[in-house]
């Protein structure tokens, strides 16, 4: 039995003036606990234990039990839901003919998992993994594979949940087939599903990154080993493929002051990237574009200064490209940006919308709890009882996505 763990951090994209450019990795994680049978053990049987209620029983390895997710507790919840016939919203687990066809089973633990499919052709993680595998002419996992997904990243809240799923899918295929993909090649595969690298890049390499998609060069992947016909891929027809050409992503890691913390206000309602982008204008005033360019240039230089110039960072984190138009979608955002400022909030180094929203993120070097309380009060007041807001203090994580054995 081969076991390993894939860990991918959440992210905040569109950082300040860095629309579709600047992103930061944060200490909320998506974790995949993976078991792959030995080839000789999988010749005559498929090891999934199928129960009469069509749910799958997972035998968790000792390595999984030593991991930081409490799988003993998860198994207890699973047993209770099996015996009662009711579904636990914190655990998602199902099996079908598709699991047998693609040689993989999924179990979900954590937040927002109730609406996620465990069907390999419908789940984003396995969709991506199968795409990568089938690009190398593998149409299923090479041996029976069990994947337990533990998710801390809220879905559709502007914290990189889709990017984390895409990255974990690429890494899952990379490990399953032992492809030895480089970070550059992983970024290129991610770009097929997530065309904005400011979310995926910091999750892959860690820290704060500035990135762009190359206009001319393509990835160094050996095309002769890849299946070039997307139509031949046996994955869900509703999977959105952005581009048939694997383009390259270039990035730099932006130095940042290590005393910076992220205060993250997460309203409990979903906001899709598609809806959030729909309110943006087709054309911009030159003055607004210049406004962002100027601040972006200063921001990526000033973030790494020690001591940090809070006033400069705060002013350079302002934006005119997307936040003014998205305020209408996030009750309380306008008040947070206007009322929590450098002049009245000690330690504050900047505040902005996280990704496409609705999450808002404040960067500070001190007084994180006071800033959190202010943000929560404003959002709770603006919501008028329609939604709650969770506020947490997170670290900027320098380590990106990793595989542990």
| CA distances (Å), origin 221, targets 16, 158, 180, 188, 388 | 33, 31, 11, 9, 46
Is residue 171 located within the same domain as residue 229? yes
Is pLDDT at 252 greater than 60 in this prediction?
yes
User: Contact, 143 vs 102, CB < 8 A?
Assistant: no
pLDDT (tens digit per residue) in 107-135: 998 777 777 888 998 999 999 999 999 98
**Residue 307: is the preceding peptide bond cis (ω within 30°)?**
yes
Is residue 247 located within the same domain as residue 295? no
pTM attached to this predicted model: 0.85
Tell me if 30 is assigned to some domain. Answer: yes
Domain of 159, in residue numbers: 2-252
pLDDT (tens digit per residue) in 9-27: 999 999 999 999 999 999 9
How many structural domains does the chain have? 2
Tell me if 350 is assigned to some domain. Answer: yes
Is residue 240 located within the same domain as residue 321? no
CA dihedral 323, 280, 321, 359 (to 10 degrees): 30
More confidently predicted of 386 and 43: 386
pLDDT (tens digit per residue) in 46-102: 444 333 233 333 333 333 333 333 444 433 333 343 343 333 445 556 567 888 899
Is residue 247 located within the same domain as residue 262? no
299 closest CA partner among 28, 14, 10, 9: 14
Give the model's pLDDT for residue 115. 75
Tell me if 265 is assigned to some domain. Answer: yes
Between CA 66 and CA 72 the distance in angstroms is 10
The strand ranges marked E within 116-195 are: 145-151
pLDDT (tens digit per residue) in 339-396: 999 999 999 999 999 999 999 999 999 999 999 999 999 999 999 989 999 999 999 9
Is residue 245 located within the same domain as residue 275? no
Between CA 189 and CA 199 the distance in angstroms is 14
Give the model's pLDDT for residue 92. 57
């Amino acid at each position: 039995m081969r076991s390993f763990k894939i860990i991918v951090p959440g992210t905040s994209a569109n950082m300040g003036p860095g629309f579709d450019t600047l992103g930061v990795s944060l200490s909320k994680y998506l974790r995949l606990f993976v078991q792959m049978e030995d080839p000789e053990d999988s010749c005559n049987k498929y090891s999934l234990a199928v129960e009469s209620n069509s749910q799958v029983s997972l035998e968790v390895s000792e390595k999984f039990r030593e991991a930081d997710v409490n799988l003993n507790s998860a198994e207890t919840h699973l047993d209770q839901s099996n015996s009662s016939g009711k579904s636990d919203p914190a655990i998602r687990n199902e099996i079908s003919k598709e699991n047998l066809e693609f040689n993989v089973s999924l179990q979900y633990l954590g937040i927002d998992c109730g609406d996620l499919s465990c069907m390999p052709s419908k789940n984003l993680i396995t969709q991506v993994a199968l795409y990568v595998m089938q690009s190398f002419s593998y149409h299923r996992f090479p041996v029976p594979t069990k994947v337990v997904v533990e998710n801390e990243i809220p879905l559709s809240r502007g914290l990189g949940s889709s990017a984390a799923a895409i990255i974990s899918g690429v890494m899952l295929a990379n490990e399953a087939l032992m492809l030895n993909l480089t970070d550059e090649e992983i970024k290129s595969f991610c770009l097929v599903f997530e065309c904005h690298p400011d979310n995926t890049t910091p999750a892959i390499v860690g820290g704060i990154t500035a990135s762009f998609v190359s206009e001319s060069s393509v990835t160094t992947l050996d095309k002769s080993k890849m299946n070039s016909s997307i139509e031949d891929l046996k994955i869900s027809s509703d999977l959105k493929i952005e581009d048939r050409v694997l383009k390259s992503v270039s990035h730099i890691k932006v130095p940042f002051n290590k005393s910076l913390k992220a205060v993250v206000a997460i309203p409990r309602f979903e906001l899709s990237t598609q809806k959030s982008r729909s309110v943006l204008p087709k054309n911009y005033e030159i003055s607004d574009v210049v406004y962002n360019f100027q601040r972006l240039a200063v921001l990526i230089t000033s973030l790494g200064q020690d001591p940090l110039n809070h006033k400069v960072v705060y002013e350079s984190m302002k934006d005119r490209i997307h936040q003014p138009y998205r305020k209408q979608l996030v009750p309380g955002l306008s008040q947070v940006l206007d009322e929590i400022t450098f002049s009245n909030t000690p330690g504050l180094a900047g505040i902005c919308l996280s990704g496409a929203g609705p999450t808002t993120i404040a960067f500070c070097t001190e007084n994180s709890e006071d800033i959190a309380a202010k943000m929560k009060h404003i959002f709770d007041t603006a919501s008028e009882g329609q939604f709650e807001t969770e506020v947490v203090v997170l670290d900027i994580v320098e380590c990106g996505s990793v595989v542990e054995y």
